[in-house]
Amino acid sequence: MKARAVLFDEPVPYRTGLDLQRRLLAARQAKDIPDTVLILQHTPTVTLGNRGRDNYLLKTPEEYAALGIEVFHAERGGDVTYHAPGQWVLYPIIHLGANEADSHGYLWNLEEVALRTLADFGIQGFRREGKNGAWTEQGKVAAIGFRLKRWVAFHGMSFNVNLDLSGFKTIVPCGLAGLPVASLKTILSDKCPPMEAVRDRLLVNFSRVCNRDLEPVQSV
């Protein structure tokens, strides 16, 4: 199945990315565009999904503002997470066909994309029962939260590469107190791959797992 992968070179403010997703969602529902996958980095942002609660925020609004971190309540599933440069965010705006319309199956697919990408760089990842995402012995590397509207998925997955993890200390990540967050940098140290190499593997693995033939295009 043909699809587009839109690549962004510079970090994107969360609201800008959300507005773009909503426009693409409407266009995909109307069948005006093919399946489209955005892959980008965000400026520092905390987002709360449908299950996220304000008590997972460990700073006041004024303290977040002083740190240069925006806070948004998102319409995705999941709890609270943190975005920043050095983390890839994958937003697939795709119509789930008859053989993939189950949300649990789509969650499994996104986890599989993350696990295969970890394996590409020599890292053993795994699933944790009752907790979505991709995990390693050092902590959680990929967080997942999406939503379906008229069988079109939006929002998606974040994958930690070499971002400053201190932002996660301002929240209870995914509502899971005491469970660590990791990145390729914390696991591989000086052997951490470049951002572009990780982006390319995420897209290859998404293409294979989700059966989408992705054509990369540069954002304008």
pLDDT tens, N- to C-terminus, the chain (220 residues):
889 999 999 999 999 999 999 999 999 999 999 999 999 999 999 998 766 567 788 999 899 999 999 998 877 767 788 999 999 999 999 999 766 657 788 999 999 999 999 999 999 999 998 888 999 999 999 999 899 998 999 999 999 999 999 999 998 876 566 678 999 999 999 999 999 999 999 999 999 999 999 999 998 7
Phi, psi (degrees; rounded to nearest 5) at 3: -155, 165
What is the model's pLDDT at position 216? 93
What range does the domain containing 129 cover?
Answer: 2-218
Distance CA 197, CA 37 (A): 17
What is the model's pLDDT at position 55? 77
Distance CA 84, CA 192 (A): 17
Q: Which residues pair with 134 in a beta bridge?
A: 142
Distance CA 180, CA 54 (A): 20
Cβ neighbours around 108 below 10 Å, total: 14
Number of domains in the chain: 1
Cβ neighbours around 75 below 10 Å, total: 16
CA 181, 183, 187 angle in degrees (round to 5)?
A: 105
Q: What's the chain look like in SS3?
A: CEEEEEECCCCECHHHHHHHHHHHHHHHHCCCCCEEEEEECECCEEEECCCCCHHHECCCHHHHHHHCCEEEECCCCCCEEEECCCEEEEEEEEECCCCCCCHHHHHHHHHHHHHHHHHHCCCCCEEECCEEEEEECCEEEEEEEEEEECCEEEEEEEEECCCCHHHHHHECHHHCCCCCECCHHHHHHHHCCCHHHHHHHHHHHHHHHHCCEEEEEECC
Q: What is the CATH number of the domain that holds 119?
A: 3.30.930.10
Q: Sort residue 106 into left (φ over 0), alpha (ψ -120 to 50) or beta.
A: alpha
What is the model's pLDDT at position 181? 93
Q: Pick the catalytic residue: 57, 113, 174, 181? A: 174
The model's pTM is: 0.93
Q: b/e per residue, 130-145, with b = 16+ CB within 10 A? A: eebbbbbeebbbbbbb
Distance CA 85, CA 14 (A): 12
- Check if 174 is active-site: yes
The sign of the CA dihedral 124, 128, 129, 131 is negative
Residue in the structure block whose two tokens are 């199956």: 105
